[in-house]
Chains A and B, each alone.
Chain A
Amino acid sequence: MSGPKPPPPIDDDTRAYWAGLARGELLLQHCRDCGHVQFYQRALCGRCLGARVEHRPASGRGSIYSFSTVHRAPSPEFKDDVPYTVVLVELAEGPRMISTLVDTPPEAVRIGQPVEIVYDRVSPEVTLPRFRRAATPTTS
């Protein structure tokens, strides 16, 4: 029996990110000084150290940069989930993120495959950004 998964420890850097996901928006940070787009959320720009980083909704589209189907659960909480496919998604805006695929059999997963975001509400506070196969390719 899988127990509940520990909730992500939300902090001042990431509060807006999780609030965005809860209302159905994947936020990326854009630097108003140098134009850098970054993931994950920080209080400063990882390229120029400027503090003027603002959250903007991402398209939610991207492609599979790499993947791995997990057959052995990392901890008891994930035992009921295996096999699941972890994906490294390259977003249309440039940054990459870790997620899992939904509605996709492991044997159908390919690097380069277009994907789109699915908002998976696991609690009132936590909505996880997952991905599914997209019909049309992204224009990244």
Chain B
Amino acid sequence: MRSYKGQVAIVGVGETPVGKVPGRSALWFNAEATRLALEDAGIDKSQVDGLVTAPSFVAPFARMSVAVSEYLGIRPTFSNTLNVSGATAAASVSVAAAAIHAGLADTVVVCCGDNMLSGLTRDLAVKALVESRDPQYEAPFGLLVATTFALTAQRHMAEYGTTPEQLARVAVVTRAHALRKPGAQMTTPITVADVLASKPITTPYHMLDCALVSDGGAALVLTAAERARDLRRKPVYLLGGGESYTQEHIFCAESITTTGAAISSRRAYAMAGVGPGDMDVAGVYDCFTGTVIMMLEDLGFCKKGEGGPFVEAGEITHGGRIPINTHGGMLSYAHPGLPGGYFHIVEMVRQLRGEAGARQVAGAELALCHSLGGGFATNATIVLGTEPNG
């Protein structure tokens, strides 16, 4: 099988301020993150010939990638506004890498930004999300997107004995991580009791089991591996990528407790020639606490059904088997909608460069990023490493 393994590297990363950042547009979040990523890479904007972004919930642009390019004053020859809901983050990196490997572009910016918190009221944000459900078979029943994920967690609890306390533990660990990440939206520690006492949203999920609503943007700069070696930052190589699209409707899912993540990660590991046991650190899309528990299983970090005890045993933080979301994730760092999953990738790049400061996982050489969306309708995994051969 053909492969982009080791052929493409991430050479720059940028993040805007996150949390509540009033007065800024979705375009600005894209452009500012890109400006910072180019500065980080030491690459002039004139060298960017490709740009991949995702649509904004707030901004009305039908061609977001073209609008962002215009805002930045660039005229790329490769452009894509990708939307596979939450999986867009890792999927965009794969698309950009494939474009570079195939000769469609030399230097591609992958960016995403939105002002979900300031630009959209909370009610409107949730309404926008519910309207993404099927208008005949789902929406008439008041199916919140959160409820699709809640259905999977409820079933996981029934099948495997996963407890509300184990779900809560994910939020507690992630919050502790956010406290070590400058600029995180959430800045106070929480306990399992705090999570269980927070407002019920859609059972078994409480407010603190759910990702934040934020403003923010992130960007990555990708180029060919041979060019990356001459740039100022230590390159982070793309070693593998895989995706899976199993169903649109939650009621059409073959299983709601084993997801397409098992497929996408298997493909990514196979391309990289590594396994889950080789990963030093991971960025796992954490729209809800139970999502993380199921992903730990489907990504191969523990056996099916053992995600809850795995989290309880301290395996997802420093010193554990696989520290995840060391920046605080979408539960505690930021979740501006589609951009939410990009911050995980930025964080994994920082970990592999050894630049994560108080959050650094010592000696990290291999990292996994997984993004997903739509009640596990979409899944995308990438494997990153410090060496082109893994």
Residues of A within 8 A of B (CB): 5-6, 8-10, 14, 39-40, 65-76, 78, 81, 84, 86, 88, 95-100, 106, 111-112, 126, 128
Contact = CB atoms under 8 A, between A and B. Distances in A.
Given A14-B136, A99-B141, A71 B251 contact: no
A32 B129 CA distance: 37
Contacts, number: 108
A88 B151 contact: yes
Given A9-B135, A88-B250, A70 B123 contact: no
B136 A84 contact: no
Given A8-B136, A40-B137, A72 B144 contact: yes
A86 to B, nearest CB: 5
B143 A86 contact: yes
A86 B142 contact: yes
A76 B252 CA distance: 28
Interface residues of B, number: 36
Interface in B229-283: 249-252, 256
B126 A40 contact: no
B123 A75 contact: yes
25 contacts: A8-B135, A8-B136, A14-B136, A40-B252, A66-B151, A66-B154, A66-B158, A67-B151, A69-B202, A70-B201, A70-B202, A71-B203, A74-B142, A74-B143, A74-B144, A86-B141, A95-B251, A97-B137, A97-B251, A98-B249, A98-B251, A106-B203, A112-B158, A126-B140, A128-B141
Interface string B133-153: 011111111111001001110
Contact of A70 (B134, B147, B158, B199): B147
Nearest to B142: A78
Contact of B151 (A78, A86, A95): A86
A70 B145 CA distance: 11
Contacts of A96: 251-252
A107 to B, nearest CB: 10
A74 B130 contact: yes
B142 A100 contact: yes
Contacts of A98: 137-138, 141, 143, 249-251
A74 B136 CA distance: 16
Contact of B136 (A9, A66, A70): A9
Contacts of A97: 137, 251
